[in-house]
Amino acid sequence: MLSGDIFDIQKIDEDHIGVYISDVVGHGVTASIMTMFIRQTMERVMKETTSTSETISKLHKSFLDLKLGDENYFTIFYAVINVKEKTITYSNGGHNSIPIVVKELDDKEKDVIFLESSGYPITYLFESVSYEEHQLDILKGDKIIFFTDGIIECKNMHGELFGTDRLVEVIKESNENLLENIDNKLEEFRYEGVEDDFAVLKLDIL
């Protein structure tokens, strides 16, 4: 099975780790080839700077050099974790599935924070674009959930979307096996076959 969803984690230097998740439009061979381009290009540009906005801008410029059709585009959410300062800096290239930071509270409840940020997808429609860059403090024990829209857009027999609220509910209810619990809830919810690729990545801050 060929998928248009991709994520990767890369050590930039002693203090910084880069992580991204991306969703290529469509399925099959073309989408798979696009994921290869993303992986190879990000491996290169992630090493050149710790600025998330600059990294996505470089990815966009490399994409324009491919000179593909207008129907080819993708979204990406890229973050850099500073393991020394305990911060996460992030930029959004049109990715509508906003990553979630999960914080354990003193009363064993969980607080969720969305890494809100806006930005254009990587597409030929825009020749020159800039991206916002935001930062959040993180602590030991925090979890960061990256995912693609195949999760929140999964439909049941009534045409209802799984949605962000259900995903947050699963996250808050899960003390262990979070990824397995998300997968199980999707299996219970969805109607007939899978309509879209989906991916989910969990990072634990140690």
DSSP of 9-70? EEE-SSSEEEEEEEEESS-HHHHHHHHHHHHHHHHHHTTT-S-HHHHHHHHHHHHHTT---T
User: Which pLDDT tens digits describe the chain residue by residue (206 residues)?
Assistant: 556 889 999 999 999 999 999 999 876 777 778 899 999 999 999 999 999 999 999 999 999 988 877 788 999 999 999 999 999 999 999 999 999 999 988 777 899 999 999 999 999 887 778 899 999 999 999 999 999 998 999 999 998 999 999 999 999 999 889 999 999 999 899 887 656 678 999 999 99
* Closest to 96 (Cα-Cα) out of 74, 111, 79: 74
pLDDT of residue 124: 87
End-to-end Cα separation, the chain, in angstroms:
34
> With contact defined as beta carbons under 8 Å apart, do 80 and 50 qualify?
yes
> With contact defined as beta carbons under 8 Å apart, do 19 and 81 qualify?
yes
pLDDT of residue 31: 77
pLDDT of residue 105: 85
pLDDT of residue 179: 95
Name the strands in the sheet holding 5-11, side by side, starting at the edge strand that comes first in the sequence: 5-11, 16-24, 74-82, 87-93, 134-137
- The continuous run of DSSP H or E covering 188 comes out as helix 178-189
Identity of residue 9: I
CA distance 133 to 77: 11
